[in-house]
A and B are shown apart, each in its own frame.
Chain A
């Protein structure tokens, strides 16, 4: 029942009008009832009269029987409705999608933390700059920061609101205290990164009555159902008033539904506008009031009411609406905001304060006017607040957006342990590994670099796509992920589902197989002359180098760092295709790798996530770990349901992977990724990849902390005038520049000196120094002089004797 009586009423008003028009059947009911009341007299007359039943008596009997049947049907119906009301209202009240959060920012003395990151992460969780007198605010004065953290439900239980103080010196946390007491560690509120919704995408954040400001309750009641605390579910006064108003207006201008009826309609019924549904609504409202207190009904209403749309999410309840429109929990709402929200109840779309600010302002002031009229606020307060401009938080702000690619991975991981319906309805809190700072860096870099490439190659405009995954080197936690150029778009997730040829990203696996075979070391000379291989089907395979040239005999490390195809093909064929395929699987690749020669140069198709899985093992010194997106799952009340930790197995000996890392470092030092050193101090490890006809551009690389795999290509799989180093590497480079690069630490492998022929020399000889595990040194190092250049005058061969 909307006391404001304005145009644009909801369907319920129309239904009320229909109810007022009695149907022919119902019009007879009072008559029958009246007859029934007279029945005892008639019966007496009959029994005392002459024996033959009169026509009246027959009618009376039929009416009585019909009435009885009607009462019986009504009774059964009410019992049925009552059971429905009790079961649904007492049992499962709301659909509560799982809420997914990024990792909380951990603060501890010594932690690397650029001030820009701290500020960004605070703003992304709806903290506002200002005096920290209340939660949700932060203040910066030079190197000193004060943050009033809200009460937070972490994975291991709730933490009360607290004032956190810290100093940042040289981008590191120096001093840290909570409520004035020095602490070793504290967590900030994690950023909301999305939900796991049912198909109708209904989202809400539950509130309890004690959390809701009394002004909000008062405003709601005075606007929507002024007699809420007096009626028993339906209000005849309200219906009559609505009827009169509608007749006078010649149409539906006012609804007669109480808050209870509105709740019943939203909660149990469809939006069908029929007399039967209206009757059902009225009966259920009465039953609901019979079983539940006004407070319970009001609380349910506050959590149920639809208040807007945010992308795919339907905003239900005052708690979520408060966050969505104003970026704060309901407890922190101010009067003008309260009135705006209450105004939305009448029509969330029609009075949307962002799309229709003038309408929303008028509606807000009308609510304020009703409050003033009822004496809930003083006239001065009304004037003061109603003069305030309409303010809402930016709907595009980070705290309200979602991360579709990452969310899909979260959902897939959780479906191993949880039923889908539980994820969609039980209000679970999911705590993930996502690092918003790195994610932000990745998204910005991808957009910037693709725009740059398309500006350079106008024919590619709008055609380039990308996908990328960034993980922690040591724990395989997924820190960032994009499934396409538009990171906020729920569409094809290329990070998980686009399987493309990996090109030269396969080479490190071939070289690892070679190193493991015991027949090669990095100084071994390999032949980069043209090669052709006849496959099992008789097809001839003739790989060529990217530059179209052959390079003759080269040390194996150069063949990798410069990504020579011909040399790699020879090495792979000598080592054996089965060995290479097995090495892929040892590195954690789940799928079977076909033993075709073209696999040596990456003809197999993998998703960026699968590639990241393989390179993760390389970055983690041979330790195979599933890439992990979830840290923990907790119930809405804060009880931990499950928590996850590192697990894996040593797929390849650490020593062998350390040995391979030298080759990957040379790719950056001197090979196809050397442009990285123009921006970063090494050592870093990486590999560029370009598939056949330049259809795919890849870069996979890692520093001491993070691994990043980036793919760039076209959805139509057409060639591009781009390579891994020109398309994918710049995205990696820009992302890591913002995330921060930490050079790789030494592997600890001993070094050997190798001559130009690939012979290992004794210590102190001139030659190229490169690492080698002691277990791999199988030949006795040669003394320096045996391979030193002939000195002048020394005669070695018969020609020397002649000339």
Chain B
């Protein structure tokens, strides 16, 4: 019974983390359609955003119609828990718009979900290279902080966080 409780708590934490990151992902599009910055919002609100069905999905934002269709498929695969498939749909979108930072952001996030923080870091840095949108770049950096911490790169993460806090 105790084990079950622990599991539920774990699940809840994971769920909140997913919500937090998806909310962050949601606002990023190639056409600068901005979403509310939920990456730093208190945890209590994140679930609200998610439950409202607002912006917390991979296919949010305005994109090229073909890219949008693939992001939608990626989101469906994510909801089905199929991360490799999610990644592949995102990669197909990337092949249509190979320098779309918003897609790299999503691929970085999915890589992280797949417990591949090294790969996630590289994809996020690739996204930063192509990003021409300040808001999107900020979001990528915030995610990068987490990804760096996951790899034990605490100093680098702390420095990046400090830079972000300074604006």
Contacts and interface: CB of A to CB of B under 8 A. Distances in A.
B141 interface: no
How many A residues are at the interface, by size bracket? 20 to 34
A575 B122 CA distance: 29
Contact of B65 (A108, A644, A646): A108
Nearest to A183: B69
Interface in B97-149: 98-99, 107, 118-119, 122-123, 125-126, 129
Given A185-B70, A621-B129, A648-B122, A110 B98 contact: no
A646 B94 contact: yes
A38 interface: no
Nearest to B118: A649
B62 interface: no
Interface stretch (A123-131, A188-196, A471-479, A486-494): A471-479
A646 B85 contact: no
Of the listed residues B66, B68, B84, B122, the one surrounded by the most CB atoms of chain A closer than 10 A to its CB is B66
Given A184-B66, A645-B107, A646-B123, A108 B85 contact: no
B88 A475 contact: no
A109 B126 CA distance: 27
A472 B85 contact: no
Given A644-B88, A646-B107, A623 B68 contact: no
Interface in A476-533: 477
Contacts of A475: 91, 94-95, 98
A645 B96 CA distance: 13
A642 interface: yes
Contact of B85 (A106, A156, A183, A623): A156
B10 interface: no
B64 interface: yes
B26 to A, nearest CB: 20
B88 A108 contact: no
Of the listed residues A640, A645, A654, the one surrounded by the most CB atoms of chain B closer than 10 A to its CB is A645
A643 B88 contact: yes
A459 B4 CA distance: 81
Given A109-B65, A645-B107, A650 B99 contact: no
B126 A623 contact: yes
Contacts of B90: 645
B68 A184 contact: yes
Contacts of A472: 95, 98
A615 interface: no
Interface in A47-72: none
Of the listed residues B69, B91, B99, B119, the one surrounded by the most CB atoms of chain A closer than 10 A to its CB is B91
Interface of B is mostly: helix
A654 B90 CA distance: 23
Interface string B54-92: 000000000011101110010000000000110111111
A654 B128 CA distance: 11
A645 B129 contact: no
B4 to A, nearest CB: 32
Contacts of B85: 156, 640, 643
Contact of B88 (A106, A185, A623, A631): A631
Nearest to B104: A646
Contacts of A643: 84-85, 87-88
Contacts of B84: 640, 642-643
Nearest to A649: B122
A645 B107 CA distance: 9
Interface string A617-649: 000010100000001100000001011111111
A477 B84 CA distance: 18
A155 interface: yes
A185 B69 contact: yes
B66 A108 contact: yes
B122 A647 contact: yes
B87 A645 contact: yes
A441 to B, nearest CB: 19
Contacts of A184: 65-66, 68-69
A474 B98 contact: yes
B98 to A, nearest CB: 3
A643 B86 CA distance: 10
A672 to B, nearest CB: 29
A477 B91 CA distance: 11
B15 to A, nearest CB: 25
Interface in A585-640: 621, 623, 631-632, 640
Of the listed residues B88, B123, B125, B129, the one surrounded by the most CB atoms of chain A closer than 10 A to its CB is B88
Interface in A104-118: 106, 108-111
Contacts of A644: 88, 91
A473 B130 CA distance: 14
B107 A185 contact: no
B125 A650 contact: yes
A156 B90 CA distance: 13
A174 B64 CA distance: 14
A161 B68 CA distance: 23
Nearest to A646: B91
Of the listed residues B90, B125, B126, the one surrounded by the most CB atoms of chain A closer than 10 A to its CB is B126
Given A643-B84, A646-B107, A647-B119, A477 B95 contact: yes
A645 B88 contact: yes
B122 A185 contact: no
Nearest to B98: A474
B107 to A, nearest CB: 7
Nearest to A477: B95
Of the listed residues A106, A184, A623, A648, the one surrounded by the most CB atoms of chain B closer than 10 A to its CB is A184
A646 to B, nearest CB: 6
Interface string A461-479: 0000000000011110100
A646 B97 CA distance: 13
A473 B94 CA distance: 12
Interface string B27-48: 0000000000000000000000
A362 B165 CA distance: 86
Contacts of A621: 129
Nearest to A655: B129
A423 B15 CA distance: 38
A184 B73 CA distance: 13
Nearest to A642: B84
B122 A650 contact: yes
A640 B64 CA distance: 26
Contacts of A645: 87-88, 90-91, 94, 107
Contacts of B87: 643, 645
A644 B123 CA distance: 14
Contacts of A631: 88
Given A474-B99, A623-B126, A648-B122, A155 B88 contact: yes
A775 B87 CA distance: 36
Of the listed residues A473, A642, A647, the one surrounded by the most CB atoms of chain B closer than 10 A to its CB is A647
A-B pairs with the 8 shortest C-beta distances? A474-B98, A184-B65, A108-B66, A645-B91, A643-B88, A185-B66, A184-B69, A185-B69
30 contacts: A106-B66, A108-B65, A109-B65, A110-B64, A111-B66, A155-B88, A156-B85, A156-B88, A156-B89, A184-B68, A185-B66, A185-B69, A185-B70, A472-B95, A473-B98, A474-B94, A474-B98, A475-B94, A477-B95, A623-B126, A631-B88, A642-B84, A643-B88, A644-B91, A645-B88, A645-B91, A645-B107, A646-B91, A649-B118, A650-B126
Interface of A: 106, 108-111, 155-156, 183-185, 472-475, 477, 621, 623, 631-632, 640, 642-650, 654
Given A184-B68, A475-B94, A623-B126, 20 more contacts: A106-B66, A108-B66, A155-B88, A184-B66, A184-B69, A185-B65, A185-B70, A472-B95, A474-B94, A474-B99, A475-B98, A631-B88, A640-B84, A643-B85, A643-B87, A643-B88, A646-B123, A648-B122, A650-B122, A650-B126
